[in-house]
Amino acid sequence: MIDKPAGLPVHRGPRGGPSIEDWLPALAFGKRRLPQPAHRLDADTAGCLVLGRTKPALAALGALFASGRAEKTYWAVVRGAPPAAEGEVSAPLLKRSTAREGWRMVVDPEGQAALTGWRTLGSAGGLAWLELRPRTGRTHQIRAHCAHLGCPVLGDARYGGGDGAMHLLARAIALPLDPPVAATAPPPGHMRAALAACGWRA
CA of residue 104 relative to chain centroid, distance? 15
pLDDT of 60 = 93
Beta strands per DSSP E along 14-155: 36-37, 46-49, 51-52, 71-79, 86-90, 93-98, 102-107, 115-124, 127-134
Cβ proximity of 44 and 65 under 8 Å:
no
Separation of alpha carbons 183 and 79, rounded Å: 27
b/e string for 30-64 if b means 16 or more Cβ within 10 A?
A: eeeeebbbbbebbbbbbbbbbbbeeeeebeebeeb
More confident residue, 9 or 32: 9
pLDDT in tens, 32-63: 889 999 998 999 999 999 999 889 999 999 99
Domains of the chain with bracketed CATH: 2-197 (3.30.2350.10)
* Torsions phi, psi for 194 (to 5 deg): -65, -40
How many C-beta atoms surround the C-beta of residue 131 within 10 A? 16
pLDDT of 29 = 85
Q: Is the pLDDT of residue 106 over 90?
A: yes
pLDDT in tens, 110-138: 999 999 999 999 999 999 999 999 999 99
- Give the lowest-confidence range in 18-27, 134-143, 182-191: 18-27
Mean pLDDT confidence for 176-192: 95
Q: What pTM was estimated for this model as a whole?
A: 0.93
What residues act catalytically?
42
pLDDT band per the 50, 70, 90 thresholds, residue 197: very high
Q: Please give the share of the chain, as a percent, with pLDDT higher than 70.
A: 100
pLDDT in tens, 61-88: 999 998 889 999 999 999 999 999 999 9
